Structure formats: C-alpha cells, structure tokens
Amino acid sequence: MTNILSHFLLSIPLMDAGISLIGIGRGLIGMAVLVGIGFLFSSDRKSIDWKLIGTGLLIQLVLALAILKVEWVQTGFDAVGQGFVKLISFTDFGTDFLFSSFVTGSSEAAVISFAFRILPTIVFFSALTSLLYYIGLLQKVVYVFAWLMKKTMNLSGAESLAAAGNIFLGQTESPFLIKPYLAKMTKSEIMCLMTGGMATIAGGVLAAYIGFLGGDDPAQQVLFAKHLLAASVMSAPAAVVAAKLLVPEKEKFNESMEISKDKMGANVLEAISNGTTDGVKLAVNVGAMLLVFTAFVYMGNWILRDLIGATTGLNEIIAANTGFDGLSFQFLVGYAFAPIAWLMGVPTEDIFLVGQLLGEKTILNEFYAYKTLGEMKFGGMFVHEKSMIMATYILCGFSNFASIGIQIGGIGTLIPNRKGLLSKLGMRALLGGTLACLFTAVLVGMFLG
C-alpha cells in the first residue's frame, strides 16, 4: 500500500502544479516540530511505531495533493460540496415556514442569520444523520473508511471504526458504533477514540460552519464545503498518527470489525424524531455557549482594555505597534499562538490573526473561532487567501478544554468503570486532537500558492 501511495506522489508534476519549494520547506519544518511535540509528550517513546506514523502522514499527504492538485478528485469534492450546500438549502424551507413572521427573506443582520439560518441546519442534519444511521447507510460508508484505515495503518477493528465514524459523527455519537468493544479496548485504543473525537467535527455543525464562511454566496459555500469536508476526511488518519505518537500500542488488540447493531429508534419516524430532539439540544447548547463565551470575552476585554490598558497606557503602545487597537483577549492569544502559526507555514502578515483563531478554538471552542474567522473573512482582514484556507483546517475539530469534560461524561456513560482512564487521557487527547488539526493544515498549506 505504501508503494502505491509513493507511486501516486511521483506521478504528480509538482512544479507544474504551482507548488512552491519555499512553501514545502516551511511545511516540512512545521511537520517536524509537530511530530517532535508528539514525541516529547509521548507516554512511551521507545514503543512508537514509526512505520504507522510514516504511513499515516503519507496518506494525509496524498489526500492533500489529490484534493488540491488532481482535477478529477477536485471535481469529486466540488460535487460533494455542492450536494452538501443543496442539503443545507432544504433547511431554509422549514425555517421560512416556521419563522416567516420574524424574518423577511435573506438575513439582514448577523444575529438573525445565526438564530434563524445557522442553528436550524444543526437540527436538520442531526435528524438526517439519525435517519441514515437507522437505515444502515451511514454504517456502510463508515465500514469502507474503517477497512481502508485498518489495512493501511494496521489498526485494531474498534479504533478503525471509531476513527472512520468520527468523520461523520460527533465525539459522543461515534463511540456507539463500537459499544460492544469499549469495555475491553486497550489504553492506546481508548486514546485513539478520544483523539479522533477531538480532531474532527460532526455533520450538523459542519453545515453551520459553511454558513459562517460562505455567507449567502453559493460559490463561496461550495468552496468552504469542499475544504471542510476534506479537513474531516484528512483528520481521521491525522488523529491516529497523533494518538499513536502520544500513547503507543503495547498490548494485544481485537482485530474484529463488527459495527454495533443498535438502532436510533424502533422505526423511521422515531429515528427522525430522536435525531430532531438531539439536534434541538445541540442547537440550544451551541447558541448558549456562543452567548456565554461572547459575553465573557467582552467582559474580559473591558477589564483588559478599559481598566488595565487605559490606566497603564498599554492601549496606545499596542495600537501604535500592532494591528490590534489595544490590550484585549484577541491580542493576548494572537501573540501567544503566532509562533505556532508561523512554524506551520502561515504567511507572516497573517500569523497573528491565525494565532488568535487557534487560541480562541483551544481556550473557548471552534464554533466561536469559526464565527471570528467569518468576520475576519468578510472584513477583508487577511492579506493572503492561503492563511484563511489554512485556518479553516486548523479549526476543524473539537479540540478544546470543554471537550475533555464532554468526552469523560459522554463516553463514561458507556463504560463507567473506565472513567478514571478517560480522565487521565483527557489532556493528552486534547493535545492529540490539536496536533491532528495542525497536521492537516500544514500539509494543505505546503501546496497552496
């Protein structure tokens, strides 16, 4: 399999494809740093399977090149993106019917757009996912991806299914695919499960992010749908690489790959009903989180800018020497994470913006960060389009501090006797999920002009 991937790489005329040697060099440095971080925080450096690590990175490299430089693959992802955007548009019919007395056609303000256009897509896609799971279609697609990962990376059946399931499902839904295996999974397998959940996002919120970044422009919606879908697929092997760096496998594992037969309802109507109920809970949770986090950020910025910055004169110094208007949360995380953005190959002019987004995602959540990315995009703040695309990949995962608690609570309900292990692996899973998202962004950035 590795020889086939290598042959595919050699068949692509890199220089004719507009690939910069400087960009490749920056990307290789960033990749080496990320692998080095994983090695540094590994629980057992001597047990790292470097063949698995190399194969996983090679798979990502092939995916990045294929998505960005191979015409027929681009056409395929464009088609899938268009289909995804078309699905999103169906939500508008239900939204218009339900909220026609509140909104007048297209969104006139960001708040109205979010409340009546973006949140309903979460409900719709939750119901659709539940339906696809009930009829068995989703499991078949997951099985194909899992089989490929098992054969190429020599994974156990359970972690292959979990990694593939995370492409389509959320971090608390994917474990249901492997419910029968959870109690006996090895420490490394559990780490792979948790890291995969941190490194990917669910279909419902994926639709919302397309709304954030694409706005009302169908072409932009398709563009970002393609990149978000690509990020979801690429993050699956990336999560495995990060997990196996941090917690290498040392025990014998089960190679069986049977998907749980649990249904999400007794019939189609119940499946849709259950999915809708779960979607409403998720949408309310997302809206509440954004409300609270936005309020806390503004409160924090008032303390930083209006109290500390104004009193000490830091506001004037920061405004005169940086692109920020004073001491703020955005300034602090932007400068704190800017070196990481530079190492990854983000153009120098945009490293503080991308650093800010990475900080917001890790400290708050990716939903808040995508909202900020959309505001930056429509505000014309990026000097380079490459930075904006790389940021799209960086944010495409649930790797934030709150997710540690979500996973311990969600997965812990299925295996209550292993909550202690979940708690011990929480911070490592967060680091692994972050590394996985950065892996995908670095590889994509290497081949962007």
pLDDT per residue as tens digits for the range 211-253: 888 877 888 888 888 899 889 889 889 999 999 999 998 887 7
Sequence-separated (6 or more) residues with CB below 8 Å from residue 144: 164
In contact, 168 and 190? CB cutoff 8 Å = no
Among 66, 68, 249, which Cα is nearest to 153's? Answer: 249
Cβ(375)–Cβ(53) below 8 Å: no
- CB neighbours (10 Å) of residue 87? 16
Q: Is 420 exposed, middle or buried (0-12, 13-18, 19+ CB in 10 A)?
A: exposed
Task: Compute φ and ψ for 14, nearest 5 degrees.
Answer: -60, -45
**How crowded is the C-beta side of 277, counted as CA atoms within 13 Å?**
8
Please say whether the beta carbons of 66 and 273 come within 8 A. no
Confirm whether pTM is higher than 0.95: no
In a 3-state reduction of DSSP, which class is residue 136? coil
Which tokens go with 424?
């011990």
In terms of Cα–Cα distance, which of 220, 166, 270 is closest to 388? 220
| Residue 136, phi then psi, degrees to nearest 5 | 90, 0
**Which residues, other chains included, contact 245 with Cβ-Cβ below 8 Å and sequence gap of 6+?**
35, 38, 39, 42, 48, 53, 432, 435
Q: What is the pLDDT of residue 156?
A: 84
Query: Mind listing the pLDDT tens digit of every residue in the chain (449 residues)?
Result: 555 555 554 555 544 445 667 778 888 899 999 999 999 999 999 999 999 999 999 999 888 888 888 888 888 888 888 887 777 676 666 655 555 544 444 444 444 455 555 667 777 777 887 888 888 887 888 888 888 888 888 888 888 888 888 887 778 777 877 877 888 889 999 999 999 999 988 776 777 788 888 877 888 888 888 899 889 889 889 999 999 999 998 887 767 777 666 666 778 888 888 888 877 877 777 677 777 877 888 898 899 999 999 999 999 999 988 888 899 988 999 999 999 999 889 999 999 999 999 999 998 888 889 989 999 998 999 999 999 999 999 999 988 888 888 888 878 887 889 889 999 999 999 999 999 999 999 999 988 86
